[in-house]
Amino acid sequence: MMQFLFLSFKDQISFKVLNLDKMFSSFQHVFSTLGLVNMAASMAVTCRSSALRLNLLKKGINSRCFATTSSSNNVSDVKQAGETEAEYPPVLDTSFKATKDRETQQWHKLIQSLPTVQEKQLELNMSRYYGHWACQLSPHDVHYNHAEFIQFATRTNVVEAWPNVYSTLDDEVNKFLPVLKKKVEDILLLELCHRPKVDRVESRQQKETSDNIIWAINHALVSLLSDQADHIADSQSDLSPRLEAFWWLSDVPADSRQRHVRSFRRHIPEEERNDPVSRPVQFVGQPALLVRGRLPLPTLAGEGDPVGHQPPPLEMDSREPRTRQCAYKFRHGTNIPGVWPEDGRQFGLVNWLTREHLVRHATKYGQHAAADRPDALRAQACLSGFASCLSQACGVGFSPLTELTYPLTTQTVITDGRTWTFSAFQLNTTGALLTPAEHGAPGNTCWVLPEMKLYQSVTEKGVEGLNEEVLKRLLQLYLLPTGDRDGIDLRPYLDPERSLADAVEDDWLRNKYLQTYFHIMSCRPRSRLKDEVYMWEKIYKVQFQTRPMEARKRFFELNKYPDMRRLDDFYPGYIPRALRQNFVPARFKAASKHEKNVFHEMGRLRGHRNTDPKFLQELQELESWRDEKDK
């Protein structure tokens, strides 16, 4: 098309320089208005191509009229002639990598501009019908020397200390300590001495006992503090909630398959074939108990605090998750802080975790398990804290692809009733996960205390050696008040005026979209499983073409890629004739046999990205930002 335009204007190109300048700028304006942003951008690039310059030089036109913004002095010369200043589009890099990066940035902006949590989460999964091939992480699968990889995967720096924020609560803690101490003694006596055992398997019995003690102590703390602390009075406690987090992890080394595929891509230079890649990561956890509130916890370390913004350690043997016994699996990405987004209490206050996995850890690693236990607990605290913060960030409108506007905090307790580990996590950034890990770049912070024993022994006579330090830490976690962040909007990327419940007037669309959201977030298997290449087909059809006369009907013979199938690429449900509407115009009769595609309908309602002026404006801002960054 560009060539056509050029040829059609070639004969008229002998007019003045400034007229030509106006002409190009006006075309760019037309293309921008029509939504053809890339066309408008490529026009400027094409005009700087050597062929065009050659033609123009033949016509006696100086090439300064196609100069980039860096040659603005020449334009100012022209301006002195009394003409208006030309506005040039930014110069875009048209290499494959830069184009892909630009598309990715546009997608990030799109997710940021979506007005509801449900739409953001579905857009994260929109590119994969059968889910992302994601590395699966679990707090209960803690392997040997696991902490360093978890710190890399969550970009977290571990501090073996306790934040200073808690020291201001000492007076209140000492006030409640005697009452709580007596109550905890009663709970321990009842649970450990006077309650019949349920399970004969050690890890299961330990899990049962831990859950009971956690439940009882949490109930005691909430009832004790609800009259004094408003944030506890307004909180809710969930038993075994669904805590899941999904993010993309950059700087994972490319595996042999990736390098092999890259070797066939001509647009990938040889020096880039070994570049690291981004991999989806899915955390699936179920804490024993989760306390949630309406407002976030305060920042544990402000921007000026160097302790809370240290770079994570990046020196390790391998960054490949599979070398850490973490498997990959096709699964939809889910970010769930225990409840759906309609619940008002999205901010996690205290995470209660159990230690029964350490029984398996000890069995698995034998004599080395004891030395590795602090490492395992550190990994568990980091992973659970990060997942809790990220999922609650997604619950208030951020995403793993959207940078936070304020840090988020959560607190974690890991216990089996006797041994306690306290930790606090501050999520400073999600952008660090998307960019290459650089030495010195600040990340997130996890404060972890060493293990503490709550008691020495519990007999029917009583509890011996009750450690008040544990109870003080526990009270500190519950007494740390929540609150607003000094005028910062807690949900900057959610639009209450465009919520699903209020703004979508079509009952069918609203209901169907919500059901689709639940369906995708449940991660149930698809009704039709993904196409696969059978072993005999791989041998006789793919590797060796031994059946040339056979009809090419299989998906891999028709250039179809199930992995690349989009989430909205499906036939909607069939409507039986009896249930169709009475009157359907003839031109819509074929379409009326099926329901409407819920994603297309929602996209039509929200506006397509190329016609949405808000999105175009954000895109322009993004490009200008990138230009400034390049400078």
Name which position in 464, 469, 532, 621 contacts another protein (CB under 8 A): 532
**Through-space distance between the first and last CA atoms of the chain, rounded to whole angstroms:** 32
Q: How far is the CB of 499 from another protein (least distance, A)?
A: 10
Told to check if 519 binds another protein by CB under 8 A, we report yes
Nearest to 118 by CA among 283, 403, 296, 340: 340
Q: Binding to another protein by residue 222, rule CB under 8 A?
A: yes
Among candidate residues 432, 335, 423, 438, the one with its CA nearest the CA of residue 123: 335
The CA distance from 271 to 283, in Å, is 33
Q: Which residue has the tokens 């998307």?
A: 434
- Looking at the Cβ atoms of 67 and 239, the one nearer to another protein is 239
> Does residue 516 bind another protein (CB under 8 A)?
no
**Rounded-to-integer distance, Cα 151 and Cα 536, Å:** 43
In the complex, the smallest distance separating the C-beta of residue 614 from another protein, rounded to whole angstroms, is 24
* Residue with smaller CB distance to another protein, 309 or 541: 541
Site string for another protein, 484-503 (x = CB under 8 A): ----------------xx--
Closest residue by Cα to residue 434 from 497, 392, 397, 390 = 390
Scan residues 123-182 and list those touching another protein (CB under 8 A). 179, 182
Cα distance between residue 429 and residue 401, in whole Å: 10
For 624, the 3-state DSSP assignment is helix
Q: Which is nearer to another protein, 187 or 326 (CB)?
A: 187
Exactly one of 534, 555, 574, 625 binds another protein (CB under 8 A); that residue is 534
- Of these, 5, 198, 488, 591, which contacts another protein (CB under 8 A)? 198
The residue type found at 290 is: L
Selected from 131, 287, 338, 400, the binder of another protein by CB under 8 A is 338
Binding of residue 290 to another protein (CB under 8 A): no
User: How many angstroms separate the CA atoms of 410 and 381, rounded?
Assistant: 11
* Residue of the chain from 224, 277, 503, 622 that contacts another protein (CB under 8 A): 224
49: CB partners within 8 A, 6+ apart: none
Measured CA to CA in angstroms, residue 313 lies from 148, 153, 253, 440, 555 at distances of: 8, 11, 17, 9, 45
**Does residue 597 belong to the site contacting another protein (CB under 8 A)?**
no
Helix H, strand E, coil C: the string for 21-86 is: HHHHHHHHHHHHHCCCHHHHHHHHHHHCCHHHHHHHHHCCCCHHHHCCHHHHHHHHHHHCCCCCCC
Give Cα 611 distance to the centre of its chain. 27
Q: Which stretch binds another protein (CB under 8 A): 95-103, 184-192, 268-276, 365-373?
A: 184-192
Per CB under 8 A, 211 contacts another protein = yes
Q: Which stretch binds another protein (CB under 8 A): 47-55, 167-175, 226-234, 397-405?
A: 226-234
Q: Does 212 bind another protein (CB under 8 A)?
A: yes
For residues 538 and 547, the answer to whether their CB atoms sit within 8 Å is no
The correct pick among 239, 449, 503, 605 for binding another protein (CB under 8 A) is 239
Contact call for residue 189 and another protein (CB under 8 A) = yes
Options 460, 497, 628, 630; binder of another protein; rule CB under 8 A: 460
Contacts with another protein, residue ranges (CB under 8 A): 179, 182-183, 186-187, 189-190, 193-196, 198, 211-212, 215-216, 219-220, 222-224, 226-227, 233-234, 236-239, 241-242, 336, 338-340, 342-345, 460, 500-501, 504, 507, 510-514, 518-519, 521-524, 529, 532, 534
